[in-house]
Chain A
Amino acid sequence: MGLRWYHFALWGAFIVGLALLPELVSKGTLRTIIFANYLAIFAISWDVLSGRTGYISFGHPFLIGIGAYTTAILTKRFGVPVEVSIPIAVLTTMAGGLIVLLPALRVKGSYFAMITLAFMELIYQLVQVVRPDLTGGTRGMSGVPTLTRGAVNGFYLSAFLMVSVALTMWLLMRTRLGTALSAVGMNEESVRGSGLSATRLKMVAFLLSAAIAGLGGAFYIHYLGTIAPRALFEINFAFTIIVAALIGGASTIIGPVIGAFFLTFLLEYLRPYLPGAERYLIYGGVALLLYMYQPRGIYEVIRQGWARVRGLA
């Protein structure tokens, strides 16, 4: 896998730094970091499906929503303990991942992007119409059991999840599987030529992505304590996830994490200066300019900057 000493050092520093954060920053900042952690998980999940294989999904909230709704309904309506409901949510989301896989077997590119958008719209409509007694209909549900209380506990749980997901995916992507997945994104035909099954690789990517989305979605909803269709199946939510992954740097692990933190903090830190609608304008504008400047993301900007510094030295 080509692990080096500095890999361990960087990951170690990252984890220690996260563990120390509650001593260093205010509770309000911790709350913002919690949202950034969950967004990072979603962005990593999106990146596995779309960033690696090139099948751009505009309907990623479809998967996250399946996980979130499954565990919310099980715990809130049927009193199922979270130890049981979260694994079920992950499995259900993986089944959802197979649904997204179906069109990917036949169409690619923009067609696939559009059909995922249709999936999200479909589930958005269905959640409100079918069995509102279970889903809470348009208003959703409040009072979903929460796992933690307080900013510090919520932070540790979300940081643990985020680091686990990031580290697992980082290791996984350094195996031959990761290389093969990226090859699907580069050129599907050549993958076939080299004797690998592109379909099976796509299935692995979609299932992995769905598992992470389900896990993240389930814990996210047990953190929020509330679930609303308008908050989940929204083009704006899809937008945030995609932009986080891309602005950080697709096809990397640290990229989506950087992107998620950047977007979340950008929006939150504008609040005191621009309380109203200007905030979203500046937020979107910065994202657009940054993305146009370097479509490969902040990771690439840092990498090139670092290379230049080393070149000078």
Chain B
Amino acid sequence: MTFRLTTGVLALSAGLVAGAASAEIKVGFIGSLSSDTGLSTLRGAEIAVEELNAGGGVMGQQISLVTADTGEDVTEGIKAYEYLAETEEVDFIISGSIDDVSLGWLPRMQEYQIPTLDTWTSYIGIIDMVVEDPETMAPYFMNIASDEALATLYINFGADVLKGQMGFESVVILAEDTAFGGAITGLVTEALAPVAGIEVKDIITYDINTNDFAPIFAKAQASGADFIYQVSSVNSQVVSSQYVKLQVPMAMTGVNVAALGLEYWEDTGGAGGGISTLSPVPSVGFELDPASQAFVDTYQAKYDSRPKIPHFNGFNAYHGLKQAMAAATEAGGFGDAKAWAAAMIKQDLKLEKDGQLWLRYGFWDYDTVEPVTGRTYPHNALFDLEAPYDFAQPSMVVVQWQENGEVGVVYPPEYANMEFSLPSWVPSK
């Protein structure tokens, strides 16, 4: 008992101290403090906070940032959200959480109604929750295009480049056995044949803890398809590095989450050449508009540890946090989550490069139906699935790592700065 009472007293005094310093806006970061993913969001938020504070703060108040580490663990994520909400009593939460960690703390967000912005997870199921339950999900925003949009762009890449340029007629899908893998595989198979005219020969689902991919690649080759479509978000560097080490004589492209950061080359020791993947924007090798470039310059001057260039979610956090503060100014603070959400959904940041729309940070409303996929995406980042991308940037771009370590965007042509090519050991068709 004494033990319990002591901790109680400690916590009580901690609570009093936290309560005393509330004449400022408090932002909470939730995510992993040890992963490139988490650090990108955290640092994007830190820079935005510094810039806002240097400009006199928001509504005359300075902003402070507190962190809650999830260690990419679901239960720790729930504790972290509770800590931010009830011990730190933050006004706004910015998240760099991965899919199941976000799903873990979402019931807490629904309960506390704290304005929250997710910058990494692109799980469409969360946007579906906004559609189904707009009341309690009102304070939630996700400023990365969701999975659904990700697969759609890829069909165009298939039609224009894989079939159009390379002459590939058939594909074998190599998908990890996860919810993400299943969803993307479904979207891709439904559209590849009818829209892109590429025949799906076989779908191979593999266990994410597979140690040896040699039998699996052999199976893919035996299918007789022209190329492999990889869907891999967990341990995806194992698939691609074994593809390179085994010199599999088939082209492989698809989704490889590990290849989304600039450290991919260093981490794979170069065993990643030839790999192409879909990437949210701004991706590695992406040409930046002046505003985003300025952010990267500040970032590199400030941090010298990895990630050397923030991943896409770092940009999302930087621009998104400023938008959240602008929305708070319009809504008179974060206190009324509904009023804040109403202001947030109207935020619209258009970044131009060479006089053209390059990146747009805004959100879909409840009613607008996205024309290509024919559904709504309330509170999800705006994206554009049709050239010439004058409404917003494409949901994703295709990037490729060359065998010499260079990386660039290969699709769509409006954003491309490199040609799609096959690894040297793959015979061209």
A residues neighboring B (CB under 8 Å) = 13-14, 17, 21, 24-32, 35, 125, 128-129, 132, 136-144, 146, 149-151, 224-226, 228, 230-231, 236-237, 258, 261-262, 265, 268-269, 271, 275-277, 279-280
Contact = CB atoms under 8 A, between A and B. Distances in A.
A26 B69 CA distance: 21
B79 interface: yes
Contacts of A26: 11-12, 14-15, 86-87
Nearest to A276: B33
Contacts of A268: 79, 83
B30 to A, nearest CB: 12
Nearest to A264: B79
Interface in B177-212: 177-180, 182, 207
B7 A29 contact: yes
Contact of B71 (A143, A225, A265, A277): A277
The binding surface of chain A is classed by DSSP as: helix
B293 interface: no
Contacts of A277: 33-34, 69, 71
21 contacts: A25-B12, A26-B12, A28-B88, A29-B87, A30-B86, A32-B82, A125-B207, A129-B177, A132-B179, A132-B182, A137-B182, A138-B177, A139-B103, A139-B125, A139-B178, A142-B103, A258-B3, A261-B7, A265-B7, A275-B69, A277-B33
Interface in B120-147: 123, 125-126, 129
Interface of B: 1, 3-5, 7-12, 14-15, 33-34, 67-69, 71, 73-75, 78-79, 82-83, 86-88, 99-100, 103-108, 111, 123, 125-126, 129, 177-180, 182, 207
Contacts of B11: 25-26, 28-29, 32
B337 to A, nearest CB: 16
Most chain A beta carbons < 10 A, residue from B9, B34, B74: B74
Nearest to B34: A277
Nearest to B16: A26
Contacts of B83: 28, 31, 268, 271
B177 A128 contact: yes
B5 A17 contact: yes
Nearest to B101: A228
Contact of B86 (A28, A125, A139, A265): A28
B119 to A, nearest CB: 18
Contact of A31 (B34, B67, B79, B103): B79
B8 A276 contact: no
A184 B71 CA distance: 40
The 10 A-B residue pairs whose C-beta atoms are closest, nearest first, are: A225-B107, A28-B87, A26-B15, A29-B11, A231-B74, A276-B33, A28-B86, A142-B103, A138-B178, A137-B179
Contacts of B86: 26-28, 30-31, 151
Given A140-B74, A268-B83, A277-B33, 17 more contacts: A21-B8, A25-B7, A28-B86, A29-B7, A136-B179, A138-B100, A139-B125, A142-B103, A146-B111, A226-B74, A228-B74, A228-B103, A261-B3, A265-B7, A275-B67, A276-B33, A277-B71
A230 B100 contact: yes
A229 to B, nearest CB: 8
A271 B8 CA distance: 17
A224 B103 contact: no
Given A31-B79, A271-B68, A143 B179 contact: no
A143 B12 CA distance: 31
A150 B108 CA distance: 9
A138 B75 CA distance: 15
Contacts of A237: 75
A271 B83 CA distance: 9
Contacts of A265: 7
A138 B71 contact: no
B354 to A, nearest CB: 40
B107 A224 contact: yes
A6 to B, nearest CB: 13
Most chain A beta carbons < 10 A, residue from B100, B105, B182: B100
B12 A24 contact: yes
A17 B179 contact: no
Given A136-B179, A139-B179, A146 B107 contact: yes
Nearest to B68: A271
Given A139-B99, A268-B83, A128 B178 contact: yes
Contacts of B182: 132, 137
A261 B5 CA distance: 12
A301 B15 CA distance: 31
A131 to B, nearest CB: 12
A265 B8 CA distance: 11
B12 A140 contact: no
B23 to A, nearest CB: 19
B133 to A, nearest CB: 8
A236 B86 CA distance: 26
A259 to B, nearest CB: 11
B180 A138 contact: yes
B93 to A, nearest CB: 15
A141 B104 CA distance: 8
Nearest to A35: B79
Nearest to A121: B209
Given A28-B82, A276-B33, A231 B69 contact: no
A257 to B, nearest CB: 10
B71 A24 contact: no
Contacts of A30: 86
Contacts of B105: 226
Nearest to A28: B87
Contacts of B87: 26, 28-29
A226 B106 contact: yes
A261 B7 CA distance: 10
B104 A228 contact: yes
Nearest to B132: A143
Given A139-B125, A142-B107, A276 B69 contact: yes
Contacts of B5: 17, 24
A140 B79 CA distance: 18
A87 to B, nearest CB: 23
A143 B105 CA distance: 10
Contacts of A35: 75, 79
A30 B4 CA distance: 11
Contacts of B125: 139, 142
Contacts of A271: 68-69, 83
A142 B81 CA distance: 15
